Amino acid sequence: RNNYRILITTHTHIAIDNILEKLGELPDDRILRIGNKDKIDSKLHKYHIDSKIRKHPSYHIIHDLELKNKILLKQKESYDPFLEEGEYILVEKKHHHSLLRRIISKFYNINNNEYTIKDIDIKRITPNYIDEISHNNDRINEIKKIITKDVYQQSQIVASTVLSSSSALTKDMEFDYVIMDEASQVPTYLALIPLLKTDRFILIGDDMQLQPITINHDSMLTTSVFNHMIKKYPKDYTFLNIQYRMNPQISEISSRLYYDNRLKSHSDNIHKKLELEDDKHLLLDESPITLIDTSNVEYYQLNTDGGCINEHEAELVMSIVDALIENGIGCDEIGIITPYKKQKIYIQGLLADRKMDVECDTIYRFQGREKDVIIISFCKSSRSLLNNFQKKFLSQENQLNVSITRARKKLIIIADRSLLDSAYNTRELFNSISVFDTIYLEDLFA
């Protein structure tokens, strides 16, 4: 509205994609996406710099030069001074071009014509193809630089990950505002990359969710920029206490355990519940939370070198996914979270075998995502006790908080309480779930 130039940046590509999906009402030419195109949602490729270059009015000049190079390469391959006839020649096509295209052409001394192919006697063709192709490539690169600069000047919103904001393309750009989402995941030393491009910034984050993965947590530079700024400028910190994402029964657990009961739910959230067509499945009902306790049924994990794979829990997950799909819940509204990469890969394999396009990932990959239904597989189950490292890994408050708050309508937790209760934070989480919302597999098998 005020023609501000804004840099929106986050820790992950997924989070940036989520934001851009919600800016769909803005004209495409106002938004520019920077970063590796392969990591960007295909629906948002229209914002990427490569797509912008191809849509630019002067891209035809590049197209003409690339066509010319293709023809020259073909001539080079077929050229033979002893043959009487060749195959190709360039023939000009007359056109009236735009002012910007003519300016670029004049500035770079470009022959502003389009070309087509025609048979001709090869003896008339100059064999100096390599130099001409090289010269054309130089001109293509120069024109791309001009177009890229023009695209940047027209873009009001530039979106990138924190790391991608160091791109050479934004080297000399300044912004009226930098808005950093997921700031609690960004270490201070990385946050400086985008923040040095502005005098005004807004940090959005949650100090009770995932923090930077670093070795030295005591260093100021490796501390989350969000946590650092809250501590340094507490008067400039605002806690948004109304959540709009999930059913109140889910958010109440998070509020009680991690936010000192400060987190409240919008009144409309009470309607965020599953409506099942068939409620006969033993592990699935319409209540917002279900804890499936595998204690004493010997659903033990496999013996693997590091990590964890639990085939029994994976089969429970697949059974629940089947039931959800049968009840009309789309695959894109089901998410599976597990702390262990090996368990993630194993479940992904089962999903692929059944051609189910359901997202399954670790906790760090799921931050910023949300689904109607989230299934958490804790995976760990054995006759052995948890060691101190395993207790700390499985019961980090921030990870638990992220896991349970990805669900909008239904949260399903699969865990061996007889083992995991030895870790304080997991025990507190399980104790927060009513016995009426708990399924004890031991009782079902009795």
Domains identified in the chain, total number: 2
| The amino acid at 58 | S
Q: Given a cut of 70, is residue 321 above it in pLDDT?
A: yes
Instruction: Out of 232, 260, 289, pick the residue that ends a domain.
Output: 232
Cα gap 146→168, rounded to integer Å: 14
In a domain, 280, yes or no: yes
340 and 401 both lie in a single domain: yes
289 and 418 both lie in a single domain: yes
Residue 145, H or E segment:
helix 129-154
Cα gap 131→139, rounded to integer Å: 12
Would you say 404 and 429 are in contact if contact means Cβ atoms under 8 Å apart? yes
Structural tokens at position 236: 């400039």
Mean pLDDT in residue range 69-87: 64
310 and 432 both lie in a single domain: yes
pLDDT band at 394 (very low <50, low <70, confident <90, very high): very high
Mean pLDDT in residue range 147-175: 86
pLDDT at 103: 58
In a domain, 343, yes or no: yes
Cα gap 52→59, rounded to integer Å: 10
In a domain, 106, yes or no: no
Q: Given a cut of 80, is residue 351 above it in pLDDT?
A: yes
Partnered with residue 440 across adjacent β-strands are 293
Structural tokens at position 53: 């270059």
15 and 161 both lie in a single domain: yes
pLDDT at 85: 45
275 and 394 both lie in a single domain: yes
Who contacts 99 (Cβ-Cβ below 8 Å, separation ≥6)? Answer: none
Length of the chain: 446
Instruction: Out of 232, 260, 282, pick the residue that ends a domain.
Output: 232
226 and 324 both lie in a single domain: no
- pLDDT tens for 363-378 read 988 877 899 999 999 9
Partnered with residue 291 across adjacent β-strands are 413, 438
Q: Given a cut of 60, is residue 200 above it in pLDDT?
A: yes
Q: Which CATH number belongs to the domain containing residue 222 in this structure? A: 3.40.50.300
pLDDT at 87: 45
Q: Given a cut of 80, is residue 320 above it in pLDDT?
A: yes
214 and 312 both lie in a single domain: no
pLDDT at 116: 45
In a domain, 70, yes or no: no
212 and 330 both lie in a single domain: no
Phi, then psi, of 356 in degrees rounded to 5: -105, 120
Q: Given a cut of 80, is residue 435 above it in pLDDT?
A: yes
208 and 329 both lie in a single domain: no
Mean pLDDT in residue range 333-362: 97
In a domain, 262, yes or no: no
Burial class (CB in 10 A: 0-12, 13-18, 19+), 172: exposed
189 and 278 both lie in a single domain: no
pLDDT band at 223 (very low <50, low <70, confident <90, very high): confident
209 and 275 both lie in a single domain: no
- pLDDT tens for 90-101 read 444 455 556 555
pLDDT band at 111 (very low <50, low <70, confident <90, very high): low
Quote the pTM value.
0.75
φ/ψ region of 383 (left if φ > 0, alpha if ψ in -120 to 50, else beta) reads alpha
DSSP 336-386: EE-S-HHHHHHHHHHHHHTT---EEE-HHHHTT--EEEEEEE-----SSPP
276 and 372 both lie in a single domain: yes
| The amino acid at 375 | I
In a domain, 209, yes or no: yes
In a domain, 329, yes or no: yes
Instruction: Out of 206, 232, 258, pick the residue that ends a domain.
Output: 232
Parent domain of 315: 271-444
In a domain, 397, yes or no: yes
